[in-house]
Amino acid sequence: MQKVYLDSAATTQVRSEVIEKMQKALGEVYGNPSSTHSFGRTAKSHIESARKTIAKQLNCQASEIIFTSGGTEADNMILRCAVRDLGVETLITSKIEHHAVLHTCEELAEEYGISLEFVNLDENGNPDLNHLDKLLKQDDTKKLVSLMHVNNEIGNLLDLETVCGLCQENNALFHSDTVQSIGHFEWDLESTPIDFLTAAAHKFHGPKGIGFAFIRKNSGLKPLIVGGSQERGFRAGTEAFHNIVGLEESFNAAYQSMESERAYVTGLKKHFIKNLKQALPGIEFNGLSGDLTKSTYTLVNARLPFDTQKALMLLFHMDLKGIACSKGSACQSGSNKGSHVLTSILSEEEQQKPSIRFSFSHYNTIEELDYVIQVLKEFAVS
């Protein structure tokens, strides 16, 4: 049986050079980065090197990069601290955000009694930016907008430039979950007036359990986790040194090879869409994931022309055939509930058909995609 991994939006295969770098770090650099002796100073120097590497590529200051355990912690930290420390009285988000944002906003609204507003979405899952403008202008409360750059289920790309402009015009803060974006798209934080963003290494072929937050200088945020002076006093706790080393290596590799890997993966996506349409007449693509210019090149979310009975067996069948894919966010895989993203943009009739997210990386091949298409074609007539 062939094994095909098409779930890179959930997590990616770790690059071999990242594993080697982390193994070396674990074996040779074991001092506590907070210790003042040479063992500790060596570890600390590696951490600061990683911080500078990220800052240089994103065109921001090293002091604006805070290492976290991943995107979920970073999202929680930023949103909670903004409400607690900056006097945010209104949170504006959408109903198709990752639950790290959506659930945090809902809890903050209940806990602090602040307003929570949702931007209207069109049928493709794009935020209505005219409605966003109205929400920003509806009163004089301090506002924070949280909209993800790349949707993790349908791949839609946010119009960052317009959202940044609207937030600036209305003196609102802007946070973006960029977990599906960092490592796949270029950024220039000097010219992009975003206040906060988040990233996770395991989305760009690095280790799990490490990510970072960008917090613009002089933001006014105070620590959420206290008990030590690590991360310039912003996040207490001994740093996961080996993970930070792995993050730097994977981050470097992602940006050094981005142009060639993007071209290759875009070719995979184009081939997959074209041949799926031929093999399964009636197939549809959710959101804008079937559009090569308006969605990320790393995934498609396909709504397959199968009846309800077949839909129940589809993922099980794919797994039996050695194919890893997803019905949505990996964080929802243990839930019997459908995708909150698709529920927000599809009709009840459309939701009856199975939707599968296929997400790619440079480790995939045309031959693998052809195998997946053949399996789906055979399943359709079985």
How many structural domains compose the chain?
2
3-state DSSP: the chain helix, strand, coil percent, rounded to 5?
A: 45, 15, 40
53 Cβ neighbours under 8 A, 6+ residues apart? 248, 251, 252
Do 46 and 179 share a domain, yes or no? yes
Do 86 and 97 share a domain, yes or no? yes
70 Cβ neighbours under 8 A, 6+ residues apart? 200, 201, 202, 208, 209, 210, 211
Instruction: Tell me whether residue 100 is exposed, middle or buried, using C-beta atoms within 10 angstroms of its C-beta: 0 to 12, 13 to 18, 19 or more.
Output: buried
Written as six digits, the tokens of 86 are 């900056």
Do 233 and 284 share a domain, yes or no? no
131 vs 339: CA distance, rounded Å: 24
Last-in-domain residue among 239, 256, 273: 256
Count CB-CB contacts under 10 A for residue 139.
10
| Domain of residue 352, CATH code | 3.90.1150.10
Do 298 and 247 share a domain, yes or no? no
Instruction: Tell me whether residue 319 is exposed, middle or buried, using C-beta atoms within 10 angstroms of its C-beta: 0 to 12, 13 to 18, 19 or more.
Output: exposed
Last-in-domain residue among 191, 221, 256: 256
Per-residue pLDDT of the chain (382 residues; tens, 9 = 90+): 799 999 999 999 999 999 999 999 999 999 999 999 999 999 999 999 999 999 999 999 999 999 999 999 999 999 999 999 999 999 999 999 999 999 999 999 999 999 999 999 999 999 999 999 999 999 999 999 999 999 999 999 999 999 999 999 999 999 999 999 999 999 999 999 999 999 999 999 999 999 999 999 999 999 999 999 999 899 999 999 999 999 999 999 999 999 999 999 999 999 999 999 999 999 999 999 999 999 999 999 999 999 888 888 999 999 999 999 998 644 444 445 689 999 999 999 999 999 999 999 999 999 999 999 999 999 999 8
Which residue is listed with tokens 């590529």? 57
- DSSP-derived 3-state class of residue 321: coil
**Residue 311: what pLDDT?**
86
| Domain of residue 127, CATH code | 3.40.640.10
Do 232 and 294 share a domain, yes or no? no
Count CB-CB contacts under 10 A for residue 240.
17
Do 55 and 114 share a domain, yes or no? yes
**Residue 332: what pLDDT?**
44
Do 89 and 135 share a domain, yes or no? yes
Pairing between strand 143-146 and 211-215? unpaired
Do 288 and 337 share a domain, yes or no? yes
Catalytic residue list contains 167? no
342 vs 356: CA distance, rounded Å: 11
Name 215's bridge partners.
Answer: 196
Detail the DSSP E strand segments found in 195-322.
Answer: 196-200, 211-215, 284-285, 299-303
**Residue 333: what pLDDT?**
45
Do 204 and 90 share a domain, yes or no? yes
Last-in-domain residue among 256, 290, 309: 256
Residue 59 falls in which region: left (phi positive, over 0), alpha (psi -120 to 50) or beta: left
**Residue 328: what pLDDT?**
60
The single-letter DSSP state of residue 90 is E
40 vs 141: CA distance, rounded Å: 46
Do 240 and 272 share a domain, yes or no? no
Do 338 and 242 share a domain, yes or no? no
Please give the residue range of the domain that contains residue 289: 4-12+258-381
71 vs 84: CA distance, rounded Å: 20
How close are the terminal C-alpha atoms of the chain, in Å? Answer: 19
pTM for this prediction: 0.95
The single-letter DSSP state of residue 294 is T
**Residue 334: what pLDDT?**
45
Do 141 and 267 share a domain, yes or no? no
**Residue 382: what pLDDT?**
85
